Amino acid sequence: MNLAIETKKLTKTYKTSSGMQSVVKDLDLEVEKGEIFGFLGPNGAGKTTTIKILLGIIDGTSGEANVLGRPAGDIESHKRLSYLPEKPYYYEHMTGLEITQFYASLFGIKDKELCVNLLNRVNLGNDYNRPISQYSKGMQQRVGLAQSLLNDPELLFLDEPTGGLDPIAHIEIRDLILKFRDEGRTVFISSHELSDVERICDRVAIINKGEMVHQGRLDDLLSGGRIEVTADGVPENLADKFKGDDMTLSLRAGRLIADLPDTMSPNEMIDAIRTSGGSVVSVIPRRKRLEDLFLESVSGDNLAKGRVTGKMTDDKKADTKEEEVSS
Amino acid sequence: MNVILSIAKTTIGEAIRRRVLLIILLIGVLFLVIAPGLSVLSARSSYTVLVSFTLGVIQLTSAVIAIVLTVYLLPNEVERRTIYTILSKPVYRWQFLLGKYLGAVGALGLMMALMTGILVLVFKIMQAEAGMDVVMTLARAPMMYFVQMSLLAAVAMFFSTFASPIVNFFLTGGVYLVGTLFSPVFQDIAGNNSVNAMVKTAATVIHTLVPNFAQFNVQNTIINSGSQLRSEQMYYLQMVAYAIAYVAVFLIGGMMIFDRKEV
């Protein structure tokens, strides 16, 4: 298999006042080249720690981590990857162009035109000559994306790339990420924006408390959807005919609402409804959503603590949690 | 080398805009400007008072700037996460540390050059008859202070690889005070055969570990024209070599710690 990222039994343990605590436990991660990979988990699940290990910023306690065929942190692989951190900060006295040129210099690139082209590519327009301190969050994120493209990377690590952006910036950056894949790059996204992940990722991994819960292609992980059939004028005795373990039926005043697994064909039920004089109002296939899978994966602990809510963008808490553990 | 210079350049750009440093610098400049007025308060000759006061202001201001500037260099990068973006590029940690240090020294140099410029200006106004040779003699002290502060910045950089900014502030300040006030004492004890062996060993260890900051102060030779160094140029060269050796030790030590540090 052609892997951009591979970890085997990767573990990271910290010494805390209450003893040793594993932030990442026996993590086996496989990210194929050329795909958009979503790395999900509730706050404090170990996502940032894993990314830091993959970037060589911290070392794993045990196990193996390889990035682009080399051990994580290898300086040669750093020439072929890039990283956009969550809530990036830039030296505020510099302009967008100066920041991009600074990061370019770290690769030994002196090409000003390349920097300008990249800033244009991320739609920063003529604002690149203004100081960063005057930039909106979306503009700063664009600068971040521009700097992440300087070395024409094979692999991009994007930590919450659309977090906190307005809808227009959100869509633009999401489209850019899709273009990165079209260009043959591998994109590793850590995000709480489940709708984005579901829309753009080929494969995902969900971790909880440092352990892998799910990993695979979205289509496979989200299989097992439901079909909802609604009909009017259905006689009472028809409901008994279709009762089953994996099906729910409700029949009131002639209105039937049936919820059946997508592995079961609705044709038999539709035919029976018509034969009995009823009329089918709607047949709606409901695909399992990533949010459902995510909630299933983390239910029982984080959900109960109220840490999984809505779009789960309480990033600050995530940082605090992980930093607490780190210290 | 480009990587180190890029990081250094960015560090200078940021340091010279830090308000806290500019306020410290402004206070130092203010004292330099009012120095001629204060010299009338002393019974000593106005020349002596002016020189010792202004050089003292430059030394103290530079020391505070050097410490405040350097203790926050690494922690700020971690707190703002800029270090992650930089270290995810093909940048070695030692390059990052060296770049930050050189940036701090560069910013310090600019601020000290400004104070020295004002010192020379004040002096030319107050001592109009003084020739260029007197001014050049006077400027030697700030140059040696710059070497001294570069060493102090290396000490602060070393501590910042494992200590928090506040702890680092007191550690570096402590090393500077010991190295300025007590180093000659430890040196004497270390070279005295009549003292207890244990005391002598302890004095030798402290004298070796803590740089002798006092020897960079050449104020006396400037104020007392009668007291001459045997070989002035050689003395300055030795001091620069001494500082470079200590800077190298502190930076290499810092790099070794920083290389293993989980940021």
CATH 3.40.50.300 for domain A3-80+153-221+293-326, yes or no, is yes
Contacts of B2 in chain A (CB under 8 A): 105, 108
Cα distances (Å, whole numbers) of residue A174 to A218, A250, B93, B159 = 17, 41, 33, 43
Nearest residue of chain A to residue B93 (CA atoms)? A57
Residue B135: domain span: 2-260
Cα distances (Å, whole numbers) of residue B113 to B70, B128, B217 = 18, 21, 17
Q: What whole-number distance in Å separates Cα of residue A225 and Cα of residue A117?
A: 45
Using DSSP's 3-state secondary structure scheme, residue A46 falls into coil
Q: Is the pLDDT of residue A293 over 90?
A: no
The pair phi, psi for residue A66, each rounded to 5°, is -120, 135
Report percent pLDDT > 90 for chain A: 55
pLDDT category at A313 given cuts 50, 70, 90 is very low
Contacts of B80 in chain A (CB under 8 A): 89
Burial of A32 (0-12, 13-18, 19+ CB in 10 A): middle
Mean pLDDT is lowest, of A211-220, A297-306, B33-42, for A297-306
Nearest to A106 among B84, B86, B262 (CB): B86
> Which pLDDT does position A309 carry in this prediction?
35
pLDDT category at A129 given cuts 50, 70, 90 is very high
Q: Is the pLDDT of residue A231 over 70?
A: yes
Residues paired with residue A66 on neighbouring β-strands, in sequence order: A6, A71
> CB neighbours of A79 closer than 8 A, spacing ≥ 6?
A107, A151, B90
Total number of residues shown for chain A:
327
Q: What whole-number distance in Å separates Cα of residue A190 and Cα of residue A211?
A: 15
- Which residue out of B85, B162, B261 would a mutagenesis test of the A interface target, given it has the greatest number of A Cβ atoms within 10 Å? B85
Q: What whole-number distance in Å separates Cα of residue B259 and Cα of residue B263?
A: 10
d(CA A307, nearest CA chain B) in Å: 24
The pair phi, psi for residue B261, each rounded to 5°, is -75, 140
Nearest to B3 among A82, A87, A106 (CB): A106
The verdict on a CB contact (< 8 Å) between B13 and A87 is: no
The verdict on a CB contact (< 8 Å) between B3 and A105 is: yes
| Per-chain mean pLDDT for chain A | 86
In terms of pLDDT, which residue wins out, A63 or A301? A63
> Which pLDDT does position A325 carry in this prediction?
41
How confident is the model over B97-144, as pLDDT tens digits?
999 999 999 999 999 999 999 998 888 887 767 777 777 778 888 999
Query: Which value does ipTM take for this structure?
Result: 0.86
> Which pLDDT does position A314 carry in this prediction?
39
Residue type, A192: H
> What's the token pair of residue B49?
């008072």
- Name the residue ranges covered by the structural domains of chain A: 3-80+153-221+293-326, 226-286
Nearest residue of chain A to residue B77 (CA atoms)? A89
Q: DSSP alpha helices (H): ranges in chain B?
A: 2-15, 19-38, 46-71, 73-79, 82-87, 93-126, 132-160, 165-177, 183-190, 197-209, 219-223, 232-260
Torsion sign over Cα B118, B124, B127, B131:
positive
> CB neighbours of B53 closer than 8 A, spacing ≥ 6?
B31, B35, B38, B39
Q: What whole-number distance in Å separates Cα of residue B50 and Cα of residue A200?
A: 71
Q: What whole-number distance in Å separates Cα of residue B87 and Cα of residue B84?
A: 5
Query: Which DSSP symbol is given to A289?
Result: P
Q: What whole-number distance in Å separates Cα of residue A88 and Cα of residue A85?
A: 5
CA-based nearest residue to A76, from A56, A60, A61, A58: A56
Residue type, A271: D
Q: DSSP alpha helices (H): ranges in A131-166?
A: 137-148
The verdict on a CB contact (< 8 Å) between A58 and B263 is: yes
Q: What whole-number distance in Å separates Cα of residue A312 and Cα of residue A28?
A: 25
Using DSSP's 3-state secondary structure scheme, residue A266 falls into coil
Q: DSSP alpha helices (H): ranges in A183-314?
A: 194-200, 218-221, 237-241, 267-275, 290-298
Mean pLDDT is lowest, of A58-67, A149-158, B43-52, B155-164, for B43-52
How confident is the model over A180-229, as pLDDT tens digits?
999 999 999 999 989 899 999 999 999 999 999 999 999 888 877 788 99
The verdict on a CB contact (< 8 Å) between B89 and A103 is: yes
DSSP for B48-114, written as a single string: HHHHHHHHHHHHHHHHHHHHHHHHTHHHHHHHTTHHHHHHTSS--HHHHHHHHHHHHHHHHHHHHHH
The CATH classification number of A226-286 equals 3.30.70
Q: What whole-number distance in Å separates Cα of residue B69 and Cα of residue B156?
A: 9
The pair phi, psi for residue B195, each rounded to 5°, is -85, 165
Mean pLDDT is lowest, of A109-123, B22-36, B219-233, for B219-233
> Which pLDDT does position A304 carry in this prediction?
42
User: How many independent structural domains does chain B possess?
Assistant: 1
d(CA A109, nearest CA chain B) in Å: 10
The verdict on a CB contact (< 8 Å) between B263 and A108 is: no
